[in-house]
Amino acid sequence: MVVTLLRLRFRVLANALRRNPLQVVAVTLGGVQALILVALALLGLWWAGSLAAEATQAVVIMGGAVLVLGWMVVPLLFEGVEHTLDPLKLARFPIRTNQLMTAMLIAGVAWIPGVATLIVAMGTAIAWQRVPAAAGVALIASIIGALTCVVGSRLVAAGVGILLRGRGAARIAIGASVIVLVVAPVLAVLFNGSSAGADEPSTIFATSVAVLGWTPLGAVWSIAGRVAGETSPARSGPAWWPQ
């Protein structure tokens, strides 16, 4: 059944592309853009690997959290959610929920944004190449990370879709509130801390990264860094290190 659902998704995609040559151009451009972004992200991760371990960890967590957040918010703003495997459309067929969920998950990864995300996620292993154990863990965690992106995206799209069946303005409002809800506290801590001058801004930043490393957005991206913190004997880690 999962195979049938995936075939359905890609048959619809192929037919849509064949019907509309402009869409082929759009997909090609999207692919090129994704390639560039992936290359830049991998370069960034390679650079992050040359920093001190805590800085590497901060870059990976921040980048990963932005990635997850992007998956949740961007489709809301651009109506880019893929509707082929919409549970409503398939409700008349005898399909088990877990079959549909599995198919949706695979379909989410197996297209340009999903593949790009998976490659970048696996690239966190480059950032941790100095600690082989951590690099290995990073590879495994990257799959969970990519799936987190897809599931998060579906979760938000489904939740919002139920709340407001395709009302554009409200859709943007929700997208904006998600950004505000998640990003604002981090920014608040940053700016509040620096303007008050009570603490070193870098400490405040470090604290927010450590907190982010425990949220659903950042947790999966912090795993490899935690392993690196455990296994590198020279470094016990600073006070803010996610424990």
Q: In the bound complex, what is the minimum distance in angstroms from residue 4's beta carbon to other proteins? A: 5
CB of 7 to other proteins, least distance (A): 8
Q: Provide the sign of the torsion angle of the four alpha carbons 231, 233, 238, 239, taken in this order.
A: positive
Closest approach of Cβ 41 to other proteins, in Å?
A: 32
Smallest distance, Å, CB 88 to other proteins? 7
Number of CB atoms found within 10 A of residue 26's CB: 12
Instruction: List, in order, residues 6 or more apart from 58 with CB less than 8 Å away.
Output: 205, 206, 209
Shorter beta-carbon distance to other proteins: residue 10 or 47: 10
DSSP state of 218: T
Nearest CB to other proteins, comparing residues 8 and 190: 8
| Contact yes or no for 72/117 (Cβ under 8 A) | no
Least distance to other proteins, CB of residue 26, Å? 16
Please state, in angstroms and rounded to a whole number, the distance separating the CA atoms of residues 59 and 120: 13
Q: Which is nearer to other proteins, 12 or 38 (CB)?
A: 12
Nearer to other proteins, 16 or 144 (CB): 16
Shortest spacing between CB 80 and other proteins, in angstroms: 16
Asked if residue 72 lies in contact with residue 153, where contact means CB atoms within 8 angstroms, the answer is yes
Cβ distance to other proteins smaller for residue 18 or 130: 18
Whose Cβ is closer to other proteins: residue 23's or residue 207's? 23
> Is there a contact between 138 and 144 (Cβ–Cβ < 8 Å)?
no
State the Cα–Cα distance between residues 126 and 148, nearest whole angstrom. Answer: 20
Q: Give contact residues for other proteins (rule: CB under 8 A).
A: 1, 4-5, 7-8, 11-12, 15-16, 19, 84, 88-96
Burial class (CB in 10 A: 0-12, 13-18, 19+), 162: exposed
Q: DSSP label at 52?
A: -
- CA dist., res. 240 & res. 202, Å (int): 11
